[in-house]
Amino acid sequence: MQDRVVLQPRCGTSVNKDWRTRLPDEKSKVFTAYARELESTYVMFSVLLNEAMELRQSGSVAKSCEVVNRTRDFCARLAEPLMSLLRALGDHAKHYGTVPNAVPLDPANFEGAKGQRSARMNGLLSRVLLSQRAQFLHKLGTLEEIVEDLAKHYRETADELAGGMSTDPGTLWETVDADHYDLNTCLRETIVLLKCFLLAVPEDQLAGFEKAASEQMRPRSAKGMFSAPGFSTIDV
């Protein structure tokens, strides 16, 4: 499995400055809680996929297919709350006119063709969008679309691997690895956007955002898929 992306905001940008800026205590609690929840889900997803790949490399093909099939649920546990958080950020920014800093997506941070195309389009449109707020909203929407597409594609590919009938399993394993890599890129981008958003949002709007985000991110289909700050932990 490829090394995990550690996305660093670009030097010389306002986003880079935001990333290095200390959040006030209450905002820091919100940031830490959401980031840790998403990170813990990602780690479980990543560890399980790594186990599947190690089993395949050791020759335990049937067992590796069984384990990669289990990663489907962990992919959903990451993707659904990630999309919900992106929507919550966008809804708040639209309603209250919040103007966080943002930089366009970088195609070099994506492995898959779809992610690269979406990132290039985001960069192109960011050059013509006049307002900083519009650039922030467009990036949120682009990330949500990428996450949705990746999660669907990952689950379909894992299903095909689990079925054991593919004539080209090597390509399928490369695909799940690339999708996992790109989901991680989206996670890193979202965490950076969350930090920038929290720096821009007024203190008196923080509780309202937290409430709306928690409602959106509440598990819909899988028990324990995600728990908002202060709620119960993820069930495995």
pLDDT tens-digit map of 24-69: 999 999 999 999 999 999 999 999 999 999 999 999 999 999 999 9
The residue segments making up the domain with residue 139 are: 25-217
* Assigned domain for 41 exists: yes
pLDDT of residue 218: 79
Gap between the Cα atoms of 138 and 143, Å rounded: 9
Residue 96 has pLDDT above 80, yes or no: yes
Residues 6+ apart with CB under 8 A from 92: 98, 197, 201, 205, 208, 209, 212
- Name the domain count of the chain: 1
Whether residue 141 lies inside any domain: the answer is: yes
Q: Do the domain assignments include residue 16?
A: no
CB 138 within 8 A of CB 126: yes
pLDDT band at 165 (very low <50, low <70, confident <90, very high): confident
Judge whether 231 lies within some domain: no
Contact 82, 150 (CB under 8 A): no
Report if residue 201 sits inside a domain. Answer: yes
| pTM, two decimal places | 0.87
- The answer to the question of residue 229 being in a domain is no
